[in-house]
Amino acid sequence: MQTAVVSSKYQIVIPKAIRERMDIRQGQEVSFEPLENELRLVIVPSIEELAGKFPQLKRAPGRSELWKDDKR
């Protein structure tokens, strides 16, 4: 188990072994999720990392597709 100490500014440093194992990079966004007596740190994927991950979702129609049947 890796530990960290909360600073006087309520900051923590993610231990190097964890950063390397999880490939956490400088500037990467993370999310904190409180659970009962635990705090989960979740890596927020970039939009580039999400590209192609959900092929079952259909693309929303574009503006021209929405208005093509409109007879105004």
List, in order of start, the domains of the chain with CATH numbers: 1-47 (2.10.260)
Distance (Å, whole) CA 19 – CA 23: 6
pLDDT in tens, 10-48: 999 999 999 999 999 999 999 999 999 999 999 998 877
Q: Is 51 left (phi over 0), alpha (psi -120 to 50) or beta?
A: beta
Q: Is 44 left (phi over 0), alpha (psi -120 to 50) or beta?
A: beta
Q: Are 40 and 33 in contact (CB under 8 A)?
A: yes
pTM (2 decimals)? 0.60
pLDDT in tens, 38-52: 999 999 988 777 777
Position 47 scores a pLDDT of 76
User: Which residue type, as a one-letter code, is found at position 25?
Assistant: R
Position 9 scores a pLDDT of 97
More confident: 60 or 28: 28
Q: Which of 5, 45, 2 is closest to 20 using CA atoms?
A: 2
